[in-house]
A and B are shown apart, each in its own frame.
Chain A
Amino acid sequence: MKKVVLFIAMVMPLALFAQKSPVDKLFDKYANQKGFTTVNISGKLLNFAGNIDTGDETTGEMLSQLKGIRILSVEDSVLNRQLDFYAELEKDGFFKDNTYEVLMEVTEDDEVVRFLARDAGEGKLSELLLVVGGEENALISIRGVIDPANIGKITRSLDIDIDDADINIKK
């Protein structure tokens, strides 16, 4: 009995001080604030979504392997100019703990998209994080088992214009 109590007493502080990742902190910080839109899709729902038969197996398979998608985007133009998620993550020591690797940076006219990933071994990723900066700011976090080879395949397998897939988000 004493040993159990002691064990709990020793483990609990660890759990208590197990800090949230800087990404989660950012999401928590800006969720439900004015000018921000957050979209959360749980792994469970993605699993259902992946099983919908649409004849697109690549996407379906990929979706059912995901544990969650979180998106934080900035709608307000003033905020957009002020914010820099990348700088905020950097300030939070995000790049010091080496759990994330920088995959690549795609720079286009008025936009910088940084691909960060957590390695799951065997060439798979356990989390893909997109930090979009520039004129529009957004954070996209995709968790689960991600095969980098499949990411590229999605646009090739679907010839739908992104705008066509636009849907309204219920806030």
Chain B
Amino acid sequence: MTMETHKINQLLHRYFDGETTTEEERLLEKYFSEGEVIPEHEPYRSFFAGIAELSDVQGNKKLEEGLMDFILESEHAEKKRYRWLWQTVTGIAASILIIFGGILIYEQQQPFKDTFSNPEEARAYAQKTLMYVSGKYNSGLAKLSETGKYNKAMGQLGKVALLGQASKPLSKSLKAVNAGFSEVENLNRYTNSKNE
């Protein structure tokens, strides 16, 4: 096996694996067209002859370009159509949402119409309302504080009673202490008078 056959074998392998470059393909075509093909490669000869023939027909470039343009354009048009559809649908949806949202926000900002147009009337009415509220509020608080006072008073009463109880033993011991003090005083007086 010569170097060349080896190379051709490799190239063929890569060709059928689709890994060859254009140059290498040209090389193969050249090899098969030049006639000195070893019997091993004979089956591929007609195939490459056909390929070479086809690649010779390079002529009609304009037609090719035209075809390519047509394919690209139709693809583009399809995309454009989808995009247009998408944009319209989302656009409509968004505008509906915006309109509804706007109405809602507007409603929330203006929850009601003014009953009065004159601030003085409004004030009189507001004052009347506030006084009603205030009156109820105060009477509620008063009731609360009445019970509060009652509880407080009871608490204090209880405290007084407790204090009385607690002070009983205290007063007993105080009496004893006092008695002790008076004894001491008596003693002092006694000693004083003795010294004199």
A residues adjacent to B (C-beta < 8 A): 5, 8-9, 12-13, 15-16, 18, 24, 27, 31, 38-42, 45-46, 48-50, 52, 54, 59, 62-63, 66, 68-71, 104-106, 108, 113, 115, 128, 130, 140, 142, 148, 151-155, 158, 160, 162, 165-167, 169-170
Contact = CB atoms under 8 A, between A and B. Distances in A.
A52 B123 CA distance: 8
Contact of B97 (A8, A27, A151): A8
Contacts of B100: 12, 16
Contact of A152 (B90, B123, B141): B141
A41 B114 contact: yes
Contact of B115 (A104, A128, A170): A170
Closest 7 CB pairs of A and B: A49-B123, A48-B119, A106-B140, A40-B112, A12-B97, A154-B134, A165-B128
Given A39-B125, A108-B139, A165-B128, A151 B113 contact: no
B102 to A, nearest CB: 10
B121 interface: yes
Given A42-B112, A46-B122, A155 B129 contact: no
B131 A158 contact: yes
Contacts of B125: 39, 41, 167, 169
Interface string B121-159: 111111111111111111111011000000000000000
B137 A41 contact: no
B71 interface: no
A27 B141 contact: no
Nearest to A155: B134
A39 to B, nearest CB: 5
